[in-house]
A and B are shown apart, each in its own frame.
Chain A
Amino acid sequence: MARKQIRVRIPKRYNMSLWSPSRRMLFIWCMLISFILLFAPQNFTSKFQLAYVRIFRWPLSIGGHFALSTQTQMPLQDVVPRREYDKLQTYRANLEETLNQQRMKFEKLYGLYNKYVWEGVNFALADVITATINGSSNELTISCRENIGLVKGQFVLGDNSIIGTISEVSSGTACVKLFTDPTSAIAVKIGKLNVDRMMRGNGDNSARVPLIEAKYKIKIGDEVFASSNKSKFLDAPVKIGEVAQLKKDEKDPLFWDITVKPACDIEKLDDVAVLVMNP
């Protein structure tokens, strides 16, 4: 009697081997690539991130502008918009401070040639491509309109006030670390005080200036300027924010703990200017 051979095909999902070698090797190779990326220098890997932003600049900008337009309110007629008002106030504060600096210099160097503080400075305009403003990171990605040398550490202005510094650069595209970023540290002076202190970002659209002696007369609303002392990227103080909160330090009541809010609405910026010293 002839035997009939029946071929039985077992579907793949009933395969008892959970870890077939090919899947294991695939997983291991992928993990290896991930660890290589993790341990690679950030200067190298950040170029990939900036290259992505450069390639997809147009759709990213459109998305950002759309998000901004849905948040912007219609202005009232015969009233200056709040943003314009703040911008002009900041410009006035910067001019006043520049004038004070000029007066101090003139007093010191009376009779000698007096150089205007902003002489030889270029303000390179740049478009904001993406803005990441959340708890863990506060950063903008910008694309410079001019072919001008950007370097790390240069100050970036938004609505005439300092918003941060250049942290990464690649072929005309740059990352701007906002001063509200937790890793940011900028030397500042508050109001009319001629004392420099380090301001560090809080991550929630504000920054903190700790350990200022309580003997100094500081009040809410006082202007905060980025200090130009010992800075090769700044010739004169420029406004960075205002004192929003003032309280005694919890550990030592002899010191103030100051919270600073930005002078402009950083989330609504779509163009900025990079301060290029002596280009």
Chain B
Amino acid sequence: MRWLRFAVLILTVTVLQKGLLGRLDIKPDLLVILLVFFSIYSNTSEAIISSFTLGFAADLIGSPMPMGPHMISFGLLGTALAYLHRVIAIRKMPSQALAIFITAILTSTLTHFLAYLIKGEPVSANIYGVVFGTSLYSGLVGPFLFLPLAWWMRIKISRFGQRWAHK
């Protein structure tokens, strides 16, 4: 895993998510897309580290939500996805889209639940629509971003065959 490229990638994505996409009502969650990508295409230890790091990045840009819920939900679900990928290969685009959609819904739900339970953050009435819309948008857009991500991280992927990691 090329950690310097990973760090640059996370910084770029957080700036895009908070700056360019921040003013949109419904937007794709780029950090969840990255979470699923690294859970599928990294080994387990790297997937764990990258999941928690992505969660920390989501906490940094998640203001006014307190810090902590994103890191826990990303870490848990990223690790679970990494182990699930050992059993069920998530190679084809439809299955990747479904994985992103489900992961986005679960991370948002867990995040808001933890924030409500621990910090007493109120949940707004239209939260369900926002979560569903964001998850759907991420699921539709996410698989198309996997190729440029793989190019940047120097990971050779084949959607129809074995994965070879470039060393």
Chain A residues with CB under 8 Å of chain B are 12, 18, 22-23, 26-27, 30-31, 33-35, 37-40, 42, 45-46, 48-50, 52-53, 56, 59-64, 66-68, 71, 130-137, 139, 141, 167-168, 175, 177, 181-183, 202-204, 267
Contacts and interface: CB of A to CB of B under 8 A. Distances in A.
A60 B23 CA distance: 11
Contacts of A40: 67-68
A203 B45 contact: no
Contacts of A48: 60, 67
Interface string B105-142: 00000001010001101111111011000000000000
A168 B65 CA distance: 12
B7 interface: no
Given A30-B49, A35-B72, A49-B63, A132 B22 contact: yes
Interface stretch (B13-21, B91-99, B148-156): B13-21
A64 B23 contact: yes
B8 interface: no
A31 to B, nearest CB: 6
A135 B124 contact: yes
A67 B140 CA distance: 21
B28 interface: no
Contact of B44 (A23, A133, A135, A203): A23
8 contacts: A18-B86, A35-B68, A37-B71, A45-B59, A45-B68, A64-B22, A67-B20, A182-B123
Which 3 A-B pairs rank lowest in CB-CB distance, beginning with the nearest? A63-B19, A38-B68, A203-B124
Interface of B is mostly: helix
A66 B20 CA distance: 7
A239 to B, nearest CB: 24
B126 A139 contact: no
Interface of A is mostly: helix
B143 interface: no
Given A60-B19, A61-B19, A66-B20, A38 B67 contact: yes
Contacts of B22: 63-64, 67, 130-132
A30 B52 contact: yes
A34 B52 contact: yes
Contacts of A204: 124-126
Interface residues of B, number: 52
Contacts of B127: 135-136
B63 A22 contact: no
A68 B118 CA distance: 35
B68 A182 contact: no
B119 A132 contact: no
Contacts of B63: 46, 49-50, 53, 132, 137, 139, 141, 168, 175
B48 interface: yes
Given A46-B63, A135-B127, A139-B64, A34 B18 contact: no
A23 B53 CA distance: 15
Contacts of B114: 38
Contacts of B88: none
B24 interface: yes
A52 B61 contact: yes
A50 B18 CA distance: 13
A23 B45 contact: yes
Contacts of B79: 27
B48 A38 contact: no
Given A34-B68, A45-B66, A136 B112 contact: yes
A34 B65 CA distance: 14
Contacts of B61: 49, 52
A137 B65 contact: yes
A180 to B, nearest CB: 10
Given A30-B48, A175-B64, A202-B124, A133 B25 contact: yes
A59 B116 CA distance: 31
A37 B67 contact: yes
B124 to A, nearest CB: 3
Nearest to B19: A63
